[in-house]
Amino acid sequence: MYATAVVEGRVVRFKLSPALARAQRENRGRALTEQEAVEFIEAKRRSRALRRAKPYLESRP
């Protein structure tokens, strides 16, 4: 599977790795903006931090 990007005003076509091709196929028709990507990462970071803090929080009286 190939993808494209615009570099120096030219459209560059390049081959995707097998896993990236699979991911892009499965995400076909879906869009993710840069802002949404950042928010997604932050949500994951928050949930990971909460997961890590859980034993401590639960041990407090």
Partner 1 sequence: MRVVLDTCILKLATFPRENNASALVFELARAGLVEAWASPAILEEYADVLGDRPDFVAEVVGICRMCHPLTELRIIRHEPDNRFLECALAVNADFIVTVNTAPGHFDRERFQTVRVVTPGQLLNSPAVWPLVEKLAGS
- Of 27 and 56, which has the nearer Cβ to partner 1? 27
Tell me, residue by residue from 1 to 40, as one string, x for binding to partner 1 by CB under 8 A and - for no binding. Answer: --xxxxxx---xxxxxxxxx-xxx--xx-xxx-x--xx-x
Is 57 near partner 1 (CB under 8 A)? Answer: no
How far is Cα 37 from Cα 21, in angstroms, rounded to an integer? 19
Residue 41 engages partner 1 in binding (rule: CB under 8 A): yes
Choice between 17 and 59, CB closer to partner 1: 17
CA–CA separation, 40 and 17 (whole Å):
23
The answer to whether the beta carbons of residues 16 and 1 sit under 8 Å apart is yes
